[in-house]
Amino acid sequence: MKFENKVIWIAGASSGIGESLVYEFINEGAIVIASAPFKEKLQDVRKNCGEKKEFCHVLHLDMEHQEDFPGLVNTVVASYKKIDILLHVAGISQRALTVDTSMKTTRKIMEINFFGAVALTHAVLPVMISQGFGQIAVITSISGKFGFPLRSTYSASKHALHGYFESLQAELLEKNIYITLVVPGRVHTAISYNALTADGTPWGKMDDGLAGGISTEKAAKKILSAIQKRKKEVLIGGKELFMVYIKKFFPWLFWKMVSRINPT
């Protein structure tokens, strides 16, 4: 088993890609710490592990309550003695025009998607440096590669993750600590249901694009493979990923295509 006896901490494990990652890692022999703000959902995830549920441990974590992170890290280390891999999956999306989006909503998205990941990394990093090894995997988005209508702050938060963790990887080259940036395109999750509108209320419906996306199970398998191979970056999804390359090599075509995008 590829991750036998590895201690894997997943922030954002109660649904979607994070939930599927729990099952994949458990099946590969890992000890998984499943974290999210939703205690009941986490318990359901643990129950779904079946006979292997003893290897899934639930730890309540809210990305907006960053003052709790040092204590949570101490709890994990006291129980498991190490943290092999930290996965940042938690996040929230947006469905609103920039001009309409309140600053309160803007700050909430940045707090969860960017500052939460930074704060948890900052709390875990000394542990990994002390133990002499570790890996951090970060779920970003193709919206972190280019801007997208109705997602200005979401896109900004994902761009920020790329800048932060690429810089961190450069600093850790001699520390035996690896960063893997995971860049999903369309994955069939409930992220659009919980996406924030201009006033911070949920969007409450499934986007057509996401409905046709790859399954979370398929995404999770590809993520495990990328982590095992210590890839610095991996794109996951379908034909929408071609937009990343079109933006890079044919910017004139990218902007032409953007004008025709259906953002939902």
Question: Which tens digit of pLDDT belongs to each residue from 45-93?
Answer: 999 999 999 999 999 999 999 999 999 999 999 999 999 999 999 999 9
Alpha-carbon dihedral angle through residues 100, 102, 106, 107, given to the nearest 10 degrees:
170
182 forms beta bridges with 139, 234
Which tokens hold the place of 168? 């961190």
Q: What is the CATH number of domain 7-258?
A: 3.40.50.720
Strand, coil or helix: 220? helix
Q: What global pTM score does this model have?
A: 0.95
Domain ranges of the chain: 7-258
31-46 pLDDT, tens digit per residue, is 999 999 999 999 999 9
Q: Say which residues have a Cβ less than 8 Å from residue 120's Cβ, sequence separation at least 6.
A: 11, 61, 63, 66, 69, 86, 88
Q: Which residues are catalytic?
A: 154
Q: In what order do the strands lie in the sheet with 31-36?
A: 56-60, 31-36, 7-11, 85-88, 134-139, 177-184, 233-236
Contact 215, 223 (CB under 8 A): no
Residues recorded for the chain: 264
Task: Give the integer Cα–Cα distance in Å for 264 and 262.
Answer: 6
